[in-house]
Amino acid sequence: MTTVNRMHHKILAFTDIHIKSEGEKIVGYDPLERFETGLKHALKHHPDADHLILMGDLTHNGRPDQFERLKPLLKNLPLPVTLMPGNHDRRDTMLEAFPDLETTDSGHVMQVIDLDGQAPFGPKDRLICLDTLDGPPWRDYHHAGALCEARLNWLKTQLETAGDRRISIFMHHPPLHTGFNGMDAIRMMDHEAFYTLIKQYPNVTHIFAGHIHRTISGTANGIGFTIFKSPTHQMPMMLGTDGYAHSVPEPGAYGIILLSDEGVIVHSEDFDEATRHAVQGYDD
Ligand SMILES: [Fe+2]
């Protein structure tokens, strides 16, 4: 639990990092270098952030050496970090590399983060980070997400015990259609059970996801959602297209979430393009 004396909590979110083995690239980039650049940018400009969440697809193939490449970047961070698995990860190799990760009784990598403002001011938030990785058993080219009964039961408990906290849910796979047919076919497939459950808890305010590699936001089933880009490779704007392996080197990004006393405010920062000197003399 983190206690802060402010009118908002600030969360930094990276998704779809896709670290490959030494020497391997995606769209011409080493994904590890892309994440390192984005993380340095985020830490420099947001030293007041309360928490860092890596929202799955930490690696491209779930290999032990790929998780090992991530480890040095997460050492001595000035803020707590939460790791979530995605469809490109493997839970067993992830836990071998990071044995201190919290797991549930069912062995899933899921965690609750409670953030308290100081009474009588400041919001009280609960962040629920889910593991939507479908497996084991591992099936080749199976990238869809799942929430089995054990995970849904765990989620129910976290919703029930949240009290008056506002709830944000983090999950790698979106539980909704985005209009990219190929990606929609590999969304979180237990979406009906998921929405039936969370709709019983009016404190659930927002869902954060990755997986698509594009900035997308809106509402689904009456609940707001935001999907963040990757730091490395993005989905081209080819709505309606089949397949899920389209990648373009559009600017990478990370998310900045302000959980304020007013609401949930979501920013996406294209860290390569970002500048902090406004154009002067703009007068008409
Ligand atoms: Fe991904």
Taking only the tens place, the pLDDT of each residue in 69-105 is 999 999 999 999 999 999 999 999 999 999 999 999 9
HEC states along 194-222?
Answer: HHHHHCCCCCEEEEEECCCCCCEEEEECC
- Residue 261: is its pLDDT beyond 90? no
pLDDT in tens, 247-256: 999 999 999 9
pLDDT score at 4: 46
pLDDT score at 139: 87
Ligand 1 centre from 87 Cα, in Å? 7
CB 216 within 8 A of CB 171: no
Q: Report residues near ion ligand 1: CB below 5 Å.
A: 16, 57
Look at 274 and 147; give whichever has higher pLDDT: 147
Ligand 1 centre from 232 Cα, in Å? 10
- Residue 26: is its pLDDT beyond 50? yes
pLDDT score at 166: 96
pLDDT in tens, 112-165: 999 987 555 568 999 999 999 999 998 888 999 999 999 999 999 999 999 999
CB 259 within 8 A of CB 166: yes
Q: How confident is the model at residue 2 (pLDDT cuts 50, 70, 90)?
A: low
State CA 277 to chain mean position distance.
Answer: 29
Sequence ranges of the domains in the chain:
2-270
Rounded to an integer, what distance in angstroms lies between the CA atom of residue 218 and that of residue 157? 27
Encoded amino acid at 14, one letter: F
Ligand 1 centre from 240 Cα, in Å? 19
- CATH number assigned to the domain with residue range 2-270, chosen from the 4 options 3.30.300.20, 3.40.50.720, 1.10.3720.10, 3.60.21.10: 3.60.21.10
